[in-house]
Chain A
């Protein structure tokens, strides 16, 4: 199951990078987000998976596709001039970063130790139960009430800002 969702996520992301048509790229993004939601399910976190589907695959991608269709920019425009140097430097940076962090992840004793603690055979007591909406709501409104209100205020500010940016004559 883990491999299926991981491949779904990474296939969607890779298709996004190589896709020419912007609408299809947006749909590849949905595929990737769905794979991430599946990964959250496997992490015993159905709340986060539901939020991922609703907020990312729902709201954000719909907004993005709406803007793509509004601007009528379905294809990437032809390049003003080729920039081979910048392209090769960016590919090199990505590969170097990937190789470096891959080496760190594979060689990390801390990650391996955490892994062993959560395996079913090793210690059954350490295995957590699935996240529930009730416990999330308890933590949210008991420990993080101020941050919750601040997030609401931030959303209001973002809404007003987005409208004032787009509106032609306010």
Chain B
């Protein structure tokens, strides 16, 4: 089985490739967009890319339950991160009346 066949039929390399492209698109959202909310969505996409890779390896190494346990802890921490991150966005908006990261480039007003 060649690499291309493995990717198209949903082999391990296909999942790793999807995770990689998801990571790159999340990175593009963080680096190229100015709104801090879109950048936050990009961070969530990158976190999901890591989850896809983790569960794909867990499955292709024999379906170990520990991978899913780890995934559970990852999304618990991700939910906490989302709550605190959005609270920080609201705080930033209170100070600057803007969610544009280019307008928030100084530590003090």
Residues of A within 8 A of B (CB): 1-3, 6, 9-10, 13-14, 16-17, 22, 25-26, 29, 32-33, 36, 39-40, 42-45, 47-48, 51-52, 55-56, 59-60, 63-64, 67-68, 70-71, 73, 76-77, 79-81, 83, 87, 90-91, 93-94, 97-98, 101-102, 105-106, 108, 111-112, 114-119, 126, 128-129, 131, 135-136, 138-140, 143-144, 147, 151, 154-155, 157-159, 161-163, 165-166, 168
Most central of B6, B38, B40 by chain A CB within 10 Å: B38
Q: A45 contacts which of B3, B59, B83 (Cβ < 8 Å)?
A: B59
**Contact sample, A vs B, 19 pairs, CB 8 Å cutoff:** A2-B9, A2-B10, A16-B41, A25-B37, A51-B71, A52-B75, A56-B48, A56-B75, A60-B82, A64-B41, A64-B86, A91-B28, A114-B57, A136-B69, A143-B69, A144-B73, A151-B77, A155-B80, A162-B87
Contacts of B38 in A (CB 8 A): 16, 22, 25, 76
A67 to B87, CA, bound (A): 9
Q: Mark B4-25, 1 if CB is under 8 A from A, else 0.
A: 0010111111111110111011
In this complex, what residue of B is CB-closest to A161?
B84
Q: What CA separation (Å) do A107 and B40 show in the bound complex?
A: 33
A42 to B21, CA, bound (A): 18
Partner of A90, one of B1, B11, B32: B32
Chain A residues near B29: list those with CB within 8 A: 13, 16-17
| Chain B interface residue bracket vs A | 35 or more
Tell me whether A17 and B63 are in contact in the complex, defined as CB-CB below 8 angstroms, given that A73-B37, A165-B84, A165-B91 are known contacts.
no
> Contact: B24 with A43, CB < 8 Å?
no
The number of A-B residue pairs with CB atoms under 8 Å apart is: 238
Q: A67-B89, A111-B16, A118-B59 given as contacts; is B76 within 8 A of A155 (CB)? A: yes
Tell me whether chain A's interface is mostly helix, strand or loop, or mixed.
Answer: helix
Partner of B51, one of A36, A79, A165: A36
- In the complex the two chains form, is A158's CB within 8 Å of B72's CB? no
Partner pick for A154 among B15, B72, B80, B102, CB 8 A cutoff: B80
The CA of A16 and the CA of B25, in the complex, are separated in Å by 9
B66–A139 CB distance below 8 A: yes
Known: A73-B99, A140-B72, A143-B66. 14 other contacts (CB 8 A): A6-B18, A29-B45, A60-B78, A63-B82, A76-B100, A112-B6, A114-B61, A115-B1, A118-B60, A126-B62, A139-B68, A154-B80, A158-B83, A165-B84
Q: How far, in whole Å, are A111 and B56 apart by their CA atoms in the complex?
A: 11
